[in-house]
């Protein structure tokens, strides 16, 4: 596996001009090209032969953008289409988008050099590429019109999807076939930002209508002729292995067609979900838990805490720590504990496969096609070119579908293979399978210590973090330098604060519990640890939470300063307490974007209740402010849900204690605060917004709660009961 | 054998009468606008109208709908659903979209039953059973107010 990823990490092929492809049977213009990220341009272009394209112009004038990024709610279909439409001078009404299939050679994420969606990179890596796609198509349409009308290209205008010269006018569709025969321009010119008419303006997402009338097609909605629904009986503890099973009672359930052993457990194949559920319940399975994780959460925390106290390996060090603590007149210390978390996307994991005559076709919300396609092919015993993955809408992911292990692709491949015949199969997980299923946000312990001198300066700052590595044991391990997984502690190091001395340490822990990126990854815990602990330190130093942070920022931290100042102005910050309510502030830089939030909190039944949230975000050029605001609102709700409720815990013997929304609760509408978002004006290239709204909310909430009640939050989620 | 009406059409299903209505709709009738989120009446993704009232189809056995009228998102008609859908698009409520059929069914039921524009508290009470993991709640609320204005409630 790791060699595959090393290969995938090589720079994406460069280049323009590459090769224009006309899809057999598809009318109109289809374009395929690659544009390398900056810094790779000096390399020789590789030839590109691709059966697919980024753009399709139909005879009916529709322009369909094939999104190389999975649409799971963060808006890349709309964002990529906006970039194309801007340079194409299309009218927004003619734009459409659909998922591009798995094809590394064509649809690589230029931030990864491999096909995949994550790290809030969709718009950042597509910013130049998709505008080039639009500009190239525009140039070819103009060339076609010039040839058709016998006029110079320079006299042709394009606006709102209409190509014109004097009285002559044409839509794109009528010229698309001819445009496809035109030479691809060497270097199409991109617009000056002052000429943007779509970029920077609000518009609803392209997939919104289909998501309001029930017609949007997700994986679970797919039906194929003769399809069987498959549920898998999975191990009762992480790392448990299958010993034996008795399927007699399961096979007696009407509708159950077969039962097979696969790597993930025992698969029950049935006509319809209900029969599969009944069949699975009727199975008698024996598991071996000798090698399983049998520690409870309490025991795991004890082990991780001991490791954090020992300091771990140094990942950042600056100044003389001992001297820093020696100069201090006050020392503040804390240990903060973060549980395992399930992503719980609203559509639980699922996949559909159809195998026929030695070829396989799959449909699902595939987030890492680079890993999934070869994995499914291997499980099926087919060459990857005979495996087509149709990437379709996902009902949420938050990282859950982006597996280095490609376990869903492996599972659906094995399900089809084990059936021993051609046919269509749909694998789905119940909510209980999802909550029990692992691939959690890593359980984490932070050990923090800070020294403050008489003048209120922070003379020393140490933070030691203990958790499992997400990348270890996956193809991504090849990217780890010096055995260090930066996603384990990102956000705790490289802080723009002036501390007299600092040391950040990391202890890599082991457990059979599989862990995964979870909306904002390391920042889910580091922002909380840093920003809630710093708040206590500032208080001890006699400083205001907002002004204290601003004073600590290094001079070069201008974007950090801007979001903090902006959010302070938005909330009319007057300190942490006002009229019986408390206000907490926190900020984080994640995935290239800067977000600061202030949360207004009151006490309700002994627990914090967030009533309002102000949010300032700097994500570079705002492509669609509507989507940026939506992602901040959603990130805030997701983070609030997490801080108030989310915990996956293992009981004695290692079994997961939660199973569904009654004991893994979700934030509901009456708990959602009012949210006000301000986007910082910027001319810097765009960065992501899917994740960066999440990190600041938790610490801002804890800071407000401490101001209100004096209670320090050293373990998440917030206790269900407290003694205010 | 269960006979009932779905989206105005007579339907006869010769399947296990214990099957939750959700799976009969999705797997047997291929009406997939109604979603599965939890299976235990905790999330509202599976909300349909049963004789005009919102109902969690995941915990409604097929036998219970014998002779009844079931309406799914695909079959909703009338001024309330039209106003709700228009507001949902104008305010761009959905993110991943998975919960949205259920949100829209509950919102439509609320407006059908409201004699006057619903307050925030009434919206909370009517919508608290619908989980949105993408936390589109700010916009759900705004869209319901918007639809109420369209309906001149
Ligand atoms: S699926 Fe019915 S309430 Fe969740
Ligand atoms: S829009 Fe994703 S769960 Fe509601």
From residue A142, give the alpha-carbon distance in Å to each of A15, A63, A489, A609: 22, 16, 51, 58
Cross-chain Cβ contact A272/B28 below 8 Å: yes
CA angle A146, A148, A149 (to 5 degrees): 65
Cβ-defined contact of B134 to A637 (cutoff 8 Å): yes
Which residues of B fall within a CB distance of 8 Å from A73? 94-97, 134
Residue in A closest to B99 by C-alpha: A346
Residues of A in contact with B107 (CB under 8 A): none
CA distance A428 to chain B (A): 11
- A346 with B26: Cβ contact below 8 A: no
Distance B137 CA to ligand 2 centre (A): 9
In degrees rounded to 5, what are phi and psi of residue A286? -110, 130
Give pLDDT, residue A101: 86
Residue B99 CB less than 6 A away from ligand 2: yes
pLDDT-wise least confident of A174-183, A200-209, B60-69:
A174-183
Q: What is the pLDDT of residues A555-611, one digit of tens each?
A: 999 999 999 999 999 999 999 999 999 999 999 999 999 999 999 999 999 999 999
Does residue A422 fall inside a structural domain?
A: yes
Q: Is B109 at the interface with chain A, CB within 8 A? A: no
| Residue from A212, A396, A637, A638 to probe ligand 2 pocket by mutation (most atoms less than 8 Å from CB) | A396
**Contact with chain B for residue A3, Cβ under 8 A:** no
Distance (Å, rounded) from C-alpha B73 to C-alpha B81?
A: 9
**Tokens linked to A288:** 């071996």
B101 interaction partners in chain A (CB closer than 8 Å): 214
| Domain containing residue A388: CATH number | 3.30.365.10
CA–CA gap between residue A567 and residue A563 (Å, rounded): 6
A433 at the B interface (CB within 8 A)?
Answer: no
What is the pLDDT confidence band of residue A16, given thresholds at 50, 70 and 90?
A: very low
A659: exposed, middle or buried (Cβ count in 10 Å: 0-12, 13-18, 19+): middle
Residue A717 falls within a domain, yes or no?
A: no
Provide the 10 A C-beta neighbour count for residue A195. Answer: 9
**pLDDT beyond 70 at A425:** yes
* Cα of A576 to nearest chain B Cα, Å: 25
Q: What are the residues whose beta carbons fall under 8 Å from the beta carbon of A326, sequence distance 6 or more?
A: none
Q: What is the mean pLDDT of residues B88-95?
A: 98
Closest CA to A147 of A177, A182, A180: A182
**Considering CB atoms only, which of A72, A273, A641 is closest to B27?**
A273
**With a 6 A CB cut-off, is B34 part of the ligand 2 pocket?**
no
| Residue A622 located in a structural domain | yes
Secondary-structure percent of chain B, ordered helix, strand, coil, rounded to 5: 45, 15, 40
How many structural domains comprise chain A? 3
Any B CB within 8 A of A97 CB: no
Q: Are A242 and A137 found together in one domain?
A: no
For ligand 1, say whether the CB of B38 is within 6 Å of any of its atoms.
yes
The domains found in chain B, sorted by start residue, are 2-75 (3.10.20.30), 79-152 (1.10.150.120)
CB contact under 8 A, A220 and B35: yes
Using a CB-CB distance cutoff of 8 angstroms, which residues of chain A are in contact with residue B99? 346, 395
Listing DSSP states for A342-407 in one string gives ----SS--EEEEEEETTEEEEEE--S-HHHHHHHHHHHHT--GGGEEEEE-B-S--TTTT--TT-H
The 3-state DSSP class for residue A628 equals: helix
Ligand 2 geometric centre to CA of B101 (Å): 10
Last residue of a domain, one of A428, A454, A481: A428
DSSP-based three-state secondary structure for A164: strand
Query: What tokens appear for A456 in the block?
Result: 């209120």
pLDDT band at A30 (very low <50, low <70, confident <90, very high): low
Size of interface A-B (CB pairs under 8 A): 183
Tell whether A554 and A669 lie within a shared domain.
yes
Question: Which residue did the predictor score with more confidence, A46 or A402?
Answer: A402
* Together in a domain, A336 and A356: no
* Contact call for A633 and B136, based on CB within 8 A: yes
Q: What is the pLDDT of residue A31?
A: 57
pTM of the model: 0.94
- Tell me: the pLDDT tens digits for A459-509? 999 999 999 999 999 988 888 888 999 999 999 999 999 999 999 999 999
Q: Is residue A268 part of a domain?
A: yes
CA of A318, closest CA in chain B: separation in Å? Answer: 40
pLDDT digits (tens, 9 = 90+) for A660-716: 999 999 999 999 999 999 999 999 999 999 999 999 999 999 999 999 999 999 999
Residue A446 within any structural domain of the chain: yes
Ligand nearest to the CA of A395: 2
Residues of A within 8 A of B19 (CB-CB) are: 272, 274
Whether the CB-CB separation of A126 and A74 falls below 8 Å is answered with no
Model pLDDT for residues A317-338, shown as the tens digit of each residue: 999 999 999 999 999 999 999 9
Alpha-carbon distance A22 to A143, whole Å?
17
| Same-domain status, A477 and A554 | yes
Q: Are residues A280 and A372 in the same domain?
A: yes
A114, A256: one domain: no
My answer on whether A170 and A245 are in the same domain is no
For A265-294, write each residue's pLDDT tens digit. 999 999 999 999 999 999 999 999 999 999
A210 lines ligand 2 (CB under 6 A): no
Residue A433 belongs to some domain of the structure: no
Q: Which of B38, B72, B99, B131 to mutate to test the pocket of ligand 1 (most atoms within 8 A of CB)?
A: B38
Residues A245 and A188 both lie in one domain = no
Do A418 and A461 fall into the same domain?
A: no
Whether residue B116 lies within 8 A of chain A, CB to CB, comes out as: no
Closest CA to A133 of A70, A67, A54, A61: A54
| Token pair 């862990």: residue | A515
Q: How far away is chain B from the Cα of A184, in angstroms, using its nearest Cα? A: 36
Q: How far is the CA of B134 from the centre of ligand 1 (A)?
A: 16
Residue closest via CA to ligand 2's atom 4 equals: B132
Chosen domain end from A400, A428, A456: A428
Structural domain harbouring A31 = 3-203
How many angstroms separate the CA atoms of B43 and A358, rounded? 41
Q: What is the 3-state secondary structure (H, E, C) of A85-143?
A: HHHHCCCHHHEEEEECCCCHHHHCECCCCECCCCCCCHHHHHHHHHHHHHHHHHHHHHH
Residues 6+ apart with CB under 8 A from B48: B21, B25, B34, B54, B55, B57, B70, B71, B72, B105
Is A408 in the same domain as A536? Answer: no
Closest CA to A318 of A494, A451, A188, A96: A494
- Our answer on whether the CB atom of B94 is closer than 6 Å to any ligand 2 atom is yes
Asked if A638 is an interface residue toward chain B (Cβ–Cβ < 8 A), one would say yes
Q: Which residues of B touch A668 (CB under 8 A)?
A: 127-131, 137
Q: Tell me whether residue A59 is in a domain.
A: yes
Per-residue pLDDT averaged across A168-180, rounded? 92
A626 to chain B, closest Cα gap in Å: 8
Query: Is the ipTM here above 0.95?
Result: yes
Q: Is A403 on the interface with B (CB under 8 A)?
A: no
Q: How confident is the model at residue A111 (pLDDT cuts 50, 70, 90)?
A: confident
Q: Which ligand lies nearest to the CA atom of residue B38 in the structure? A: 1
Ligand 2 atom having least distance to the Cα of B93: 1
Q: Which of A74, A274, A425, A658 to mutate to test the interface with B (most CBs of B within 10 A)?
A: A274
The mean predicted confidence, pLDDT, of chain A is: 91
Query: How far, in Å, from the CA of A429 to the mean position of ligand 1?
Result: 14
Q: Is the pLDDT of residue A43 over 50?
A: no
φ, ψ at A486 (rounded to 5°) = -65, -20
CA distance B100 to chain A (A): 6
Nearest in space to A366 (alpha carbons), one of A393, A337, A405:
A393
pLDDT score for A463: 98
Residues A308, A261 share a domain: no
The answer on pLDDT for A527 being more than 60 is yes
Comparing A438 with A29, the larger pLDDT belongs to: A438
Q: Please tell me whether residues A26 and A144 are part of one structural domain.
A: yes
Contact between A287 and A265 (Cβ < 8 Å): no
Question: Is the residue at A720 inside a domain?
Answer: no
């Amino acid at each position: 596996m790791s060699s595959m990823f090393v290969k995938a990490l090589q720079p994406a092929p460069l280049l323009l001009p590459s090769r224009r492809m006309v899809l057999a049977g598809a009318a109109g213009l289809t374009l395929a090209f690659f544009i390398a990220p900056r810094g790779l341009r000096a390399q020789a272009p590789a030839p590109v032969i691709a059966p697919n394209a980024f753009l399709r112009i139909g005879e009916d004038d529709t322009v369909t953008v094939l999104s190389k990024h999975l649409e799971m709610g963060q808006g890349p279909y709309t964002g990529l289409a906006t970039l194309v439409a801007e340079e194409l001078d299309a009218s927004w009404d003619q734009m459409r988008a659909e998922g591009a299939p798995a094809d590394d050679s064509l649809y690589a994420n230029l931030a990864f050099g491999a096909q995949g969606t994550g790290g809030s990179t969709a718009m950042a890596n597509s910013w130049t590429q998709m505008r080039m796609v639009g500009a190239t198509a525009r140039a070819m349409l103009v060339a076609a019109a010039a040839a058709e009308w016998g006029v110079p290209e320079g006299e042709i205008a394009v606006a709102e999807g209409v190509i014109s010269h004097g009285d002559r006018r044409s839509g794109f569709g009528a010229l698309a076939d001819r445009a496809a025969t035109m030479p691809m321009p060497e270097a199409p010119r991109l617009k000056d930002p002052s000429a943007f008419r779509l970029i920077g303006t609000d518009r609803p997402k392209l997939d919104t209508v289909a998501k309001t009338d029930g017609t949007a097609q997700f994986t679970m909605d797919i039906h194929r002729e003769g399809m069987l629904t498959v549920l898998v009986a999975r191990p009762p503890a992480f790392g448990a292995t299958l010993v034996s099973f008795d399927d007699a009672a399961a096979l007696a359930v009407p509708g159950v067609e077969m039962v097979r052993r696969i790597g993930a457990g025992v698969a029950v194949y049935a006509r319809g979900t209900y029969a599969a559920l009944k069949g699975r319940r009727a199975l008698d399975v024996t598991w071996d838990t000798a090698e399983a994780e049998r520690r409870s959460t309490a025991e795991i925390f004890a082990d991780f805490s001991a490791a954090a106290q020992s300091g771990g390996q140094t990942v950042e060090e600056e100044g003389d720590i001992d001297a820093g603590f020696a100069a201090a007149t006050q020392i503040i210390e804390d240990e903060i504990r973060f549980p395992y978390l399930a992503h719980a996307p609203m559509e639980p994991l699922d996949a559909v496969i159809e195998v026929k005559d030695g070829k396989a076709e799959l449909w699902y919300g595939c987030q890492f096609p680079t890993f999934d396609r070869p994995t499914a092919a291997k499980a099926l015993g087919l060459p990857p070119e005979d495996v087509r993955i149709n990437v379709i809408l996902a009902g949420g992911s938050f990282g859950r579908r982006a597996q280095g292990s490609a376990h869903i692709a492996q599972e659906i491949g094995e399900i089809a293979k084990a059936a021993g015949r051609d046919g269509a199969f749909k694998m789905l997980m119940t909510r209980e399978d999802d909550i029990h299923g692992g691939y959690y946000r890593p359980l984490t312990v932070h050990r923090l210590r800070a020294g403050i001198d008489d003048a209120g300066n922070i003379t020393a700052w140490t933070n030691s973090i203990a958790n499992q590595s997400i990348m270890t044991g996956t193809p991504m391990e090849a990217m780890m330098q010096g055995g260090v997984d930066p996603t384990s502690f990102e956000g705790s190091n490289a802080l723009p604060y002036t501390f007299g001395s600092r040391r950040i340490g990391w202890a890599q822990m082991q457990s059979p519990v599989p862990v995964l990126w979870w909306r904002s990854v390391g920042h889910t815990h580091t922002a909380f640890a840093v920003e809630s602990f710093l708040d206590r330190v500032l208080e001890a130093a006699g400083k205001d939470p907002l002004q204290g942070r601003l004073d600590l920022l290094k001079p070069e931290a201008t974007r950090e300063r801007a979001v903090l100042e902006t959010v302070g102005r938005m909330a009319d910050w007057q300190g942490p307490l006002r009229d019986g309510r408390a206000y907490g502030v926190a900020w984080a830089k994640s995935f290239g974007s800067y977000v600061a939030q202030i949360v207004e909190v009151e006490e309700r039944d002994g627990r914090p209740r967030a009533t309002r949230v102000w949010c300032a975000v700097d994500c570079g050029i705002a492509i669609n402010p509507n989507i940026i605001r939506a992602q901040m609102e959603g990130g805030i709700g997701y983070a609030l849900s997490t801080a108030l409720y989310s915990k996956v815990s293992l009981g004695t013997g290692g079994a997961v204690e939660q199973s569904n929304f009654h004991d893994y609760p979700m934030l509901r509408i009456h708990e959602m605060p009012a949210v006000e978002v301000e986007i910082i004006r910027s001319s810097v290239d765009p960065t992501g917004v899917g994740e960066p709204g999440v990190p600041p909310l938790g610490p801002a909430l804890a800071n407000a709660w401490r101001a209100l009640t004096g209670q320090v939050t050293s373990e998440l989620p917030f206790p269900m009961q407290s003694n205010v | 054998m269960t006979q009932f009406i779905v989206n105005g059409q007579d339907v006869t299903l010769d399947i296990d009468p214990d099957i939750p209505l959700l799976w009969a709709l999705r797997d047997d009738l291929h009406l997939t606008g109604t979603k599965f989120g939890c299976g235990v009446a905790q999330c509202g993704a599976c909300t349909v109208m049963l004789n005009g009232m919102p109902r969690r189809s995941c915990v409604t056995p097929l036998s219970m709908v014998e002779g009844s009228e079931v309406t799914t998102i695909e079959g909703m008609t009338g001024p309330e659903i039209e106003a709700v859908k228009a507001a949902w698009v104008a305010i761009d409520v959905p993110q991943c979209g998975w919960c949205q059929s259920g949100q829209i069914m509950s919102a439509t039921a609320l407006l059908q039953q409201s004699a006057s524009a619903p307050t925030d508290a009434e919206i909370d009470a009517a919508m608290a059973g619908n989980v949105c993991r993408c936390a589109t709640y700010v916009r759900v609320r705004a869209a319901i107010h918007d639809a109420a204005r369209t309906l001149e409630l």
